[in-house]
Amino acid sequence: MLWVDKHRPKTLDKVIVHEQVAQNLKKFVAEQDCPHLLFYGPPGSGKKTLIMALIKQMFGAGVEKVKMENKTWKIDTGTRTFDLELAMLSSSHHVEMNPSDAGFQDRYVVQEVIKEMAKSRPIDAKGKRAFKVLVLNEVDKLSREAQHSLRRTMEKYSASCRLILCCNSSSKVTEAVRSRCLNVRVNAPTEDQIVQVLEFIGKKENLQLPFGFAARIAAQSNRNLRRAILFFETCKVQQYPFSANQVAPPLDWEQYVSEIATEILSEQSPKRLYSVRQKFYELLVNCIPPESILKVTQCFCCCFTFISR
């Protein structure tokens, strides 16, 4: 198991980063109810960790008994009928999915799939919470039509389900959806907080960290906690005991983007454009987010231009 999963806080009490947010979420556990929630913040800030810790604290250990399945629904649009298959992670208390995986058919996911699950009340032996939690990832990538359908679903089935929405940018979520949720901003952790987490993991793994080692990884991670932990584990695999000047190797795709940026600056021609386009396609095929590709490419181009002056 990767360290990023092995050392993920399981409850709100064990959260190291965003302690104040965790304390506020604990109030919903005490009240045995919660509104619809919208967690937003940059990648690697800890949104999913807070969401899963909240769900576990609300429903108990049963949340960890999950199963992964590809479920197929029959969608009837009135003019045609087709099968829609979507991967989902579920327990007896919650369901997690990514509606945007359905592409232009995402509105049918919201209209039919979510409605079907929202209609079924969970079996709660203790009778404390008569609702099910639906965790929807990347809601900022949903189409306008899907978000409008989501708004209607939130209103109609609020008695039997609570929606927890997760996204990177709240500005891409319609005002109608945002206004029906309690918005939870999850900021990127500071470098000091990342150092604190890395030292905690090092202690759990019985590792000796040289002075300044965790700080270098934190600086290299660009305030992305997930990336910092992955860098830390990579360094452990490559060389341990750690050396005083050891640094984490760059990600393969970032190294590839660096080569693309070099090609862009070395020659601007139709031939080079065609070559670069093929490499961008390779990155997309390997599931690298287009936003990340463009952002890193722009960063490398700016850096190389500045250095060459």
pTM of the model: 0.82
Share above pLDDT 70 across residues of the chain, in percent, rounded to a whole number = 93
Beta strands 94-97; 132-137: pairing state: parallel
- pLDDT tens-digit series, residues 61-81: 888 888 888 878 777 777 788
Domain-wise residue ranges, the chain: 3-185, 191-238, 252-308
Q: What CA–CA distance (Å, rounded) separates 216 from 242? A: 12
What is the total residue count of the chain? 309
- pLDDT at residue number 158: 76
Q: Name the 3-class secondary structure at 133.
A: strand
Find out if CATH 1.10.4190.10 is the number for domain 252-308: no
- pLDDT at residue number 186: 93
Instruction: Give 106: exposed, middle or buried? Use CB within 10 Å, 0-12, 13-18, 19+.
Output: buried
Q: What CA–CA distance (Å, rounded) separates 149 from 111? A: 6
The residue ranking higher by pLDDT, 257 or 165, is 165
Over 60: is that where the pLDDT of 124 sits?
Answer: no
Q: What CA–CA distance (Å, rounded) separates 283 from 292? A: 10
Long-range pairs, 286-290, Cβ under 8 A, ≥24? 286/253, 288/253
- pLDDT tens-digit series, residues 171-226: 999 999 999 899 999 999 999 999 999 999 999 999 888 888 888 888 888 899 99
Instruction: Give 20: exposed, middle or buried? Use CB within 10 Å, 0-12, 13-18, 19+.
Output: exposed
223 DSSP 8-state letter = T
Q: What CA–CA distance (Å, rounded) separates 80 from 246? A: 60
CA gyration radius for the chain? 22
Share above pLDDT 90 across residues of the chain, in percent, rounded to a whole number = 19
Q: Name the 3-class secondary structure at 65.
A: coil
Q: What CA–CA distance (Å, rounded) separates 40 from 167? A: 5
Over 90: is that where the pLDDT of 38 sits?
Answer: yes
Structure tokens at 137: 């990832």
Tell me which of 3.40.50.300, 3.30.365.10, 1.10.10.10, 3.30.565.10 is the CATH number of domain 3-185.
3.40.50.300
Mean of all residue pLDDT scores within the chain: 83
Residue 238 parent element (H or E) = helix 225-238
